[in-house]
Amino acid sequence: MKKQAKQIFWNALLLTAASLLIRTVSVSFQVYISNRAGAEAMGLFSLMSGVYGFALTLATSGIHLGVTRVISDAIGKKEDWKIPSAMRYATAYALGFGLLAMSLLIGFAEVIGTVWLKDLRTVRSLRLFGLTLPLIALSSAWGGYFTAVRRVYKNAAVQVWEQTVKIAFTMYLLAFMLPGGIESTCCALVLGGALAELCSFLLNLLLYFIDRRRHFPNRRGCSAPAEGKKLCGIALPIAMTTYVRSGLITLQHVLIPKGLRSSGASHAAALISYGSIHSMALPIILYPAALISSFSGLLVPTLAECAVKKETRRISYMISRVWSLSLLFSFGVAGILICFSEEFGQLLYPGTQTGHFIRILAPLIPIMYIDTATDAMMKGLGEQIFSMNVNIMDALISVILVWLLIPRYGIFGYLIAIYFSELFNTTLSIHRLLCISKTPVRLLKWVYKPLIGIVGATVLGKLLFTALPLPLCGGTVALHCLLVLMIYLALLLLLGGVEKEDLFWLRTVFQKEKKEKGL
């Protein structure tokens, strides 16, 4: 068990480093693009991205999780000979749904742009979006394979490569197309991403063939038709429920600008408000989530193997540990962003309301981050259908709230909808995971101690920030954030938020010579 825990830790460390690098570059690039293109262009791009999200859901159709679960089950049962056959079915599945999604998006781009989005400037970009769908579907299948066999460094390499190429292509295209107006700017953003997806696909394909030749050199003739049925049995139910949820989310994104216009805002002002939240504030809020999402993704195959072996005690231990670490981290992030929201807004997006929106959304960070971890663990334990049903209810409630609240309260109606839907989703997911895992609840350790610690740290940090008349710059804000983090860690140690068991667990991850002692 210690060997597996060590593997999970180092894989998580690798993915976290890659994710943080990608997120850092991505957010920095997002800031650069938003400041160059303007909030209206980013709002229009976000509006199209909602439609693209539904097409992407159709293209992937649950293939990543399906592959991860099937390959993990084969490994857990020592039936590695089934893996190449399962991947052939997965490739055919991904290619079929990818081509279907591409055909539909390109064929109906004009109808979507003129009737649904009510903006002709979106048509060309939607067609460009469609070209990427088969490539993403195949890459998703291979990504699931790398996750299941725990060679996640290949996923990390592909992500870094894709982000690098995307930035290079997009900056080059923007230099020529930005003067052409908002439509040309959106086309440049989409085309840069499309070229990056092509390069990512080629690298993924190369890495997959190399990996298959190295680990399964003589398995090309093996056939396991049951694996194809198992794959469809996992992926299709997920896909069906995901279609409904994604469709509701797309409807929600279409209704937001329409509701803002009904509240009295112009079309341009509606896009600006929408872009300020989705393209400016939310990337900052979600940036640190790279730490949670990287580790959570690795939990899926690990928990799937534990479920197959019926290791209930170990499952409960892992859930408790992940929740504890996730909440310690997320409370710290939320406190820092609340404390320095205006400073972040002024530094990154001067002259906008981004800092105001960051402060409003930051208290949701513990809910959003713990939901990410919980959702991953639910999938690992085979509860993906329940998770998707909750997500569908969440999306339906969001659509209703957006439809009712935004025309009356404007953009703050949308913020109310975000709060309610996040709380609803997370509460149901946590309750379900507690019921199936019998994990004991430790509110004092998970919630109260981190909350007290971050409140004390941010109050002291803010007092020092205001007492020292230093100029507002990136270095000053970073220094104060580091100071708040150090105070937070010190208070956690004093309050017992970090226990000896936590330190022992971290120490055993690095030990190589001692015998395995179980949990």
Vertex 178: Cα angle to 172 and 180 (nearest 5): 130
Furthest C-alpha separation in the chain: 72
| Helix, strand, coil shares, percent, the chain, to 5 | 85, 0, 15
Give the span between the Cα atoms of 360 and 281, in whole angstroms: 10
Query: Which residues does 121 contact at the CB level (< 8 Å), separation at least 6?
Result: 44, 113, 182, 183, 186
Tokens of 493: 């140690």
| pLDDT the model gives residue 494 | 87
Query: Which residues does 106 contact at the CB level (< 8 Å), separation at least 6?
Result: 126, 127, 130, 131
| pLDDT the model gives residue 295 | 67
Give the span between the Cα atoms of 462 and 484, in whole angstroms: 8
Amino acid letter, residue 393: M
Specify the residue for token string 């509460």.
427
Give the span between the Cα atoms of 126 and 186, in whole angstroms: 10
Tell me the per-residue pLDDT of 149-198, one tens digit each, with 9 for 90 and over: 777 667 777 877 888 888 888 888 888 777 777 888 888 888 988 999 89
Chain centre to alpha carbon of residue 75: 26
CA distances from 376 to 34, 69, 222, 295, 296 (A): 31, 12, 31, 9, 6
Tell me the per-residue pLDDT of 458-476, one tens digit each, with 9 for 90 and over: 888 878 777 766 666 667 7
Read off the pLDDT of each residue in 443-460 and give the average, rounded to a whole number.
Answer: 89
Cβ(53)–Cβ(128) under 8 Å? no
Give the span between the Cα atoms of 383 and 503, in whole angstroms: 31
Confidence check: pLDDT of 231 > 80: yes
Give the span between the Cα atoms of 125 and 127, in whole angstroms: 5
Give the span between the Cα atoms of 218 and 214, in whole angstroms: 10
Mean residue pLDDT of the chain comes to: 81
| pLDDT the model gives residue 506 | 54
- Please measure the distance between the N-terminal and C-terminal CA atoms of the chain and give it in whole angstroms: 7
Tell me the per-residue pLDDT of 378-423, one tens digit each, with 9 for 90 and over: 877 878 778 878 888 888 998 999 899 988 888 888 889 999 999 9
Specify the residue for token string 């194809």.
228
Q: pTM of the full predicted structure?
A: 0.70
Confidence check: pLDDT of 427 > 90: yes
Give the span between the Cα atoms of 465 and 73, in whole angstroms: 53
Confidence check: pLDDT of 291 > 90: no
Q: Indicate the length of the chain as a whole number.
A: 519
Handedness of CA 466, 467, 469, 470 (dihedral sign): negative
Query: Which residues does 421 contact at the CB level (< 8 Å), separation at least 6?
Result: 394, 395, 397, 398, 401
Amino acid letter, residue 209: F
Q: For the chain, what is the radius of gyration of the CA atoms?
A: 23
| pLDDT the model gives residue 18 | 64
Give the span between the Cα atoms of 278 and 46, in whole angstroms: 7
| pLDDT the model gives residue 73 | 79
Give the span between the Cα atoms of 316 and 442, in whole angstroms: 13
Amino acid letter, residue 420: F
